[in-house]
A and B are shown apart, each in its own frame.
Chain A
Amino acid sequence: MTPDSDAALLAAVAEGRLEALRVLHHRHAPWLRARLARRCGDPDLVQSALQDTFVAVWQDAGRYRPSEGAAGAWLWTIAIRKLVSALRGRPAPVAAEAAVTESAEDLVLRAVEHGDLGTALNRLSPELRAAIRATVLDGLTVKEAARLLGVPEGTVKTRVMRAKAQLRELLT
């Protein structure tokens, strides 16, 4: 464990060293912010979720176990949950998606690049993709995903089921 590794810094934060939290913040805030911004179009909410994340890290750094995975992944699980609580029942304003204009050539290239699964995922409707992203990639519970997406829990479950069925169909 080198002294400036994430794990060492988190251990230092757990001992109450503010400087270590500062290094962690400078290292992780930019990508966490970008990743949060993809899930919520309101920059103020993203900013407040990010702030809550590092305040929570200050308080709970002692709970991080390096054996359970990279510090970045651990930070993300905190950040996404802080975003869910910053929403307080409102649905997340949809992140602005730049129009995807892909030529047929690009599409073919991408299919080669990412294989069938990538193509299949990209062909899901945005609602189904968002449900898969929240539950599978971000590891949220159905309840948390429902709050993030602003739909009832039942809807999240149905969407995840439909998305999986559709993926299965597209891949066979």
Chain B
Amino acid sequence: MNGWHVPDDLRAAYLDGGLPEAAAMSVEVHVASCQGCQAAFPVQEEWLEESWAAIADVVDRPAPRPLTRGLTALGMPEHVAVFLAATPGLTRSWLLGVAGALGFAVAAAHAADRSMLVFLAVAPVLPLLGIAAAYGARVDALYEVASAAPISGGRVLLLRAMAVLVAALLVTGAATPALPAFTAAWLLPSLALTGAALALGPLLAPHRASALLAAGWLAAVPAGREAVFGAPAQAAYAMALIPFVYLGARRWNRL
């Protein structure tokens, strides 16, 4: 600089707050750009190390996964978002599974005289597959970790089921325009089946409940398009959803 530096007595007066404003301002402006005067400020080693440790702790934290960031941006609490994104391998596997099965169903529906029965039969089952794959000792590599975590198994299942459902509905919904009218008919049966799978949660492991319901559903479909997807049947699915939603909400609040 220009040879002038903050004298020791001036710095001491500055540090103890007794320096008149004009002098303090001149000290501050000089110190901001003079390395020697910056270094002359007294350092409490202990404070400096503690202060650095706190910063390093924040800075060194792993960056959140893109999925976690996206979910928090949508307003989801951070711990839930981290939890949902914690098993990316699993997420990919069921998402791919759902997409693959759906693609197959769409192709089949187009090949077979556009009856759509295949699509309509398969679409509601897809979220069930996802739920079966979402939780349980058999499929989850993190099952033991999750069991030990301070979050109940039921809540884990519901959270993952909800994630699966949203993803499956988005994928299936995206495929719907690929087919002509009548295609939204899968939605209510799908929700009803999912609700039933969750309601069976306390009685049956998710993969058993899902297998049972899927088998029942596929057995019922040959009864005919009108019987399975017609207005009365749709109304029944909607009615069936009500207790499931109620049960789910009650269990959620208890967890």
> What is the interface of chain A, defined by CB distance below 8 A to chain B?
6, 18, 21-22, 25-31, 34-35, 38, 47, 50-51, 54-55, 58, 69-70, 72-73, 76, 95-100, 110, 113-114, 117-119, 121-122, 124, 129, 133, 137
Contact = CB atoms under 8 A, between A and B. Distances in A.
B32 A129 contact: no
A127 B18 CA distance: 17
Interface stretch (B46-54, B118-126, B190-198): B46-54
24 contacts: A6-B35, A18-B60, A26-B48, A27-B39, A30-B38, A30-B43, A31-B37, A34-B41, A38-B17, A38-B24, A51-B51, A51-B55, A55-B59, A72-B34, A73-B33, A95-B17, A97-B18, A99-B18, A100-B18, A118-B20, A118-B22, A124-B21, A133-B25, A137-B29
A101 B55 CA distance: 39
Contacts of B23: 110, 113-114, 118
A27 B21 contact: no
A24 to B, nearest CB: 10
A125 B58 CA distance: 41
Contacts of B51: 25, 29, 47, 50-51
B215 interface: no
B235 to A, nearest CB: 53
Nearest to A30: B41
A139 to B, nearest CB: 11
B28 interface: yes
Given A29-B51, A96-B17, 9 more contacts: A30-B43, A35-B28, A47-B51, A51-B51, A51-B58, A55-B59, A58-B55, A98-B18, A100-B18
B113 interface: no
B42 interface: yes
A27 B38 contact: yes
Interface residues of chain B: helix, strand, loop or mixed (majority):
helix
Contacts of B58: 51, 55
A127 to B, nearest CB: 12
A55 B23 CA distance: 31
B16 interface: yes
Nearest to A95: B17
Nearest to B33: A70
B20 A25 contact: no
A70 B60 CA distance: 27
Interface of B: 14-18, 20-26, 28-29, 31-35, 37-39, 41-43, 48, 51-52, 54-56, 58-60
B61 to A, nearest CB: 10
A25 B52 contact: yes
Contacts of A110: 20, 23
Contacts of A98: 16-18
A73 B22 contact: no
Contacts of B31: 31, 35, 72
Nearest to A98: B18
Nearest to B19: A100
B121 to A, nearest CB: 52
Given A55-B55, A70-B32, A72-B33, A121 B25 contact: yes
A54 B59 CA distance: 9
Contacts of B43: 26, 30
Contact of B41 (A31, A95, A121, A129): A31
Nearest to A101: B18
Contacts of B33: 69-70, 72-73
